Amino acid sequence: MTYTYPDTKLLIDGIWRDAENGRTLDVINPATSEIIGQVAYASKADLEEAALAVGRGFDLWKNVSSFERYKIMRQAANILRERAEKIAWIMTCEQGKPLAQARIEILAAADVIDWFAEEARRTYGQTIPARSADVLQYSVKLPVGPVAAFTPWNFPINQVVRKLSGALAAGCSIVVKAPEETPASPAALIQAFIDAGVPAGVIALVYGDPAEISNFFITHPVIEKISFTGSTVIGKQLAALAGQHMKKSTMELGGHAPVLVFDDSDIEAAANLMVASKYRNCGQVCVSPTRFLVQDSVYDRFVSTFVAGAQKLKIGNGVEEGVDVGPLANERRIPALNALIADALTAGAKLHCGYERIGNKGYFYAPTVVGDVPITARIMNEEPFGPVAVINRFKTVDEAIVEANRLRYGLASYAFTRSTTIAHRLGLEVKAGMMTINHIGLALPEVPFGGIKDSGYGTEGGSEAINAYLETKFVTIANI
Ligand code: NAD
């Protein structure tokens, strides 16, 4: 089914409106390179209004009971499910991923909302035994205040929904700076919350100049909490600014996930599973498997199965049936990828497949595999964020762990082995926020999701996630 791609406005104080100076940006379909719509581009005056609105929204929302917040959020999740088909089409048009992947993202977002809605009812404090019989002492969890969230274009809904749901569940208001490249699907997500009954002012949505907007909100006195998903370079800048203003922050940054394949595993099954995972969303995934480390004795088998799988993938416009891999989300990723792969080949890597743009309309890129890449090559050290797999060899478990831990990145990690001894070692010794062994088990609402070291801090999933939006207050009362 075909729908109409909508223009996107700013949401300020419950009203969808143009920027006060009427400025807009073009939205481009990455599968056709055509302009498909416009997104409003906020001025400083718009941002100030948004900040003041979420300030008032916080005063309102923090006094809505957690049971009421839970009911509104569950309703938003159901509305999102009902609208999944249309929103998936919108997302595919603006972001490029195949419709099936867009649908999964939206339905998974509804599950995230349900999870945080339930968490709203469990923000327990503690009663603490006092040293005197006439003293009562306890702690309560209170919402931290208005939140500013900055989210990228690779998962236009998923990246917003974790921050939005965590904040709302805790009783915080939130201003979201969603991606200018993919503005309409986050707006549709937020519309579901509004239609479910979230009051005006509790959520604001803005677009414009990312650096100007993040600088504005992080330094604004109304905002108490920052949550950013994006590159490590930008994350460090924003975290430093948040630190200067003593504001809590969550940083979900880049990764360079190692994949350790041991010779006792089912090599063909591992390779096939990893092909699907590597090229999902055209490799533009922070937890994308990137640095494959394969035990020497099974290296050739793994590479040949992986390359055959990569070459079978159907590349095309994501709105068409049967497409496995859509285009890159924006044109600038093409020269970025070309440069990384060229550098690896110059350093002595072997090209197994890919390394070419497909066609000249849209930003399609052939699934690429490079092998035996020297660790000095840029691609062994920088996040490729595209459809490129690097497959290198190792001999011993120790050697694999050393290479897995070589970088400052520490987001996702993957391994395949039948040995419980090796699996146990990897679980303890690979330095990453997440490790999934013999299957892909990351990013469910109920499990932790986050990185360490240069991949950031704070979890956006599991039972700890809501804490990012809460502060603990201690109260002690003497009976006089
Ligand atoms: P980029 O660093 O320019 O932008 C990445 C995202 O951050 C975009 O959505 C952008 O709008 C936002 N951004 C940039 N500067 C900002 C600022 N000062 N304040 C707030 N937001 C800001 O790079 P790009 O070309 O769009 O994407 C490529 C790189 O971005 C990748 O190599 C990858 O490392 C990173 N990225 C990471 C994720 C993730 O899920 N962690 C998602 C998208 C992009």
Beta bridge partners of 17: 10
Q: 289 C-alpha vs ligand 1 centroid, how far in Å?
A: 19
CA-nearest residue for atom 34, ligand 1, is 231
pLDDT at 458 over 90: yes
Contacting residues for 18 by C-beta, under 8 A, at least 6 apart: 9, 10, 24, 40
CA of 231 to the centre of ligand 1 (A): 5
Site to probe by mutation for ligand 1, drawn from 231, 237, 330 as the one with most ligand atoms within 8 Å of Cβ, is: 231
Residue 1 has pLDDT above 90, yes or no: no
Distances (CA, A) of 342 to 123, 165, 370: 51, 42, 11
Q: Which amino acid is at 326?
A: G
Task: Tell me what pLDDT residue 251 has.
Answer: 98
34-51 pLDDT, tens digit each: 999 999 999 999 999 999
Backbone phi, psi, residue 378, to 5°: -55, -40
Average pLDDT over residues 386-409: 98
Residue 412 belongs to what H/E stretch? strand 412-416
Residue located nearest, by CA, to atom 37 of ligand 1 = 230
The average confidence (pLDDT) of the chain is 98
Cα(306)–Cα(269) distance, integer angstroms: 10
- How far, in Å, from the CA of 152 to the mean position of ligand 1? 6
Regarding the beta carbon of 385 and ligand 1, being less than 6 Å apart is answered yes
Q: Dihedral through CA 383, CA 389, CA 393, CA 397, nearest 10? A: 60
CB 24 within 8 A of CB 180: no
Q: Is the dihedral of CA 161, 166, 171, 177 positive or negative?
A: negative
> What percent of the chain shows pLDDT beyond 90?
99
Per-residue pLDDT tens over the stretch 315-345: 999 999 999 999 999 999 999 999 999 999 9
- Residues 261-302 have pLDDT tens digits of 999 999 999 999 999 999 999 999 999 999 999 999 999 999
Residues 6+ apart with CB under 8 A from 193: 72, 73, 76, 164, 168, 203
pLDDT digits (tens, 9 = 90+) for 186-200: 999 999 999 999 999
Q: How confident is the model at residue 141 (pLDDT cuts 50, 70, 90)?
A: very high
Question: Does the annotation mark 252 as catalytic?
Answer: yes
Which of 252, 383, 403, 460 is labelled catalytic? Answer: 252
- Summarize the confidence of residues 11-38 as an average pLDDT: 98
Mutate to test the pocket of ligand 1, among 234, 287, 434 (most ligand atoms within 8 A of CB): 234
- Ligand 1 center to 232 CA (angstroms): 9
pLDDT band for 2, please (50, 70, 90 cuts).
confident
CB-CB contact of 44 with 206 (8 Å): no
Answer yes or no: 464 catalytic.
Answer: no
pLDDT surpassing 90 at residue 17: yes
